[in-house]
A and B are shown apart, each in its own frame.
Chain A
């Protein structure tokens, strides 16, 4: 499985934008890029995913580099509730069981200061 590299931790101030980077230099042409987050004492929560084009939803935006070797999760205005571990995960678009797997890395611990 292709691996991702994220900073261990990042810090932000409330109501400011946050850019969370992820490197995935060994990504294959058919891998999806997913982002999940895990708030304290909760299960992981889906945030956003993309393949090649940038994506927006109500929670965040995903910017994907043209060569797809990196991506950035953008929280437009951080709130205290956004403090969590953010995971960048690649999922292979293959047949069989492999396309069901989420392989979590260590993620980035985001701290939001009031």
Chain B
């Protein structure tokens, strides 16, 4: 069991749908992250939130919209996605800073029809 909980575990959506991925942690971590992982590839950073403010956006298309409502929750809102956006979306949290380990959830497997 991981300390970072992601829901749903699987999601299938059409290109015109709007959906949201959710991530929750109760470790008191101040930094939260979204990563994208395509099949047989390493994870790639998408967004970083620090103290509930967006700190890094790795030039992610606007059809992905992150939100951090409070220090324990992180959402990723999805709209008008493309088939190539099908991937495993991973959430992570940490105390922040390069020395602190990141704790990952098991991801949401997203399929775009």
Contact = CB atoms under 8 A, between A and B. Distances in A.
Same complex: yes
Contacts of A99: 97-98
B33 A49 contact: no
Nearest to B6: A43
A45 to B, nearest CB: 7
A93 interface: yes
B33 A43 contact: no
A41 B106 contact: yes
B105 A43 contact: yes
B90 to A, nearest CB: 5
Interface residues of A, number: 26
A49 B103 CA distance: 14
Contacts of B43: 44, 102, 104
Interface residues of B, number: 26
A42 B106 contact: yes
A94 interface: yes
Contacts of A103: 45
B48 A93 contact: no
Contacts of A91: 98-99
B101 A46 contact: yes
Contacts of B44: 104
A101 B48 CA distance: 8
A83 B50 CA distance: 33
Interface string B39-67: 00011110010100001100000000000
Interface in B73-100: 90, 92, 94, 96-99
Interface in A12-48: 32, 34, 36, 41-46
Contacts of A42: 2, 106
A94 B50 CA distance: 15
B42 A100 contact: no
B99 A32 contact: yes
B107 A101 contact: no
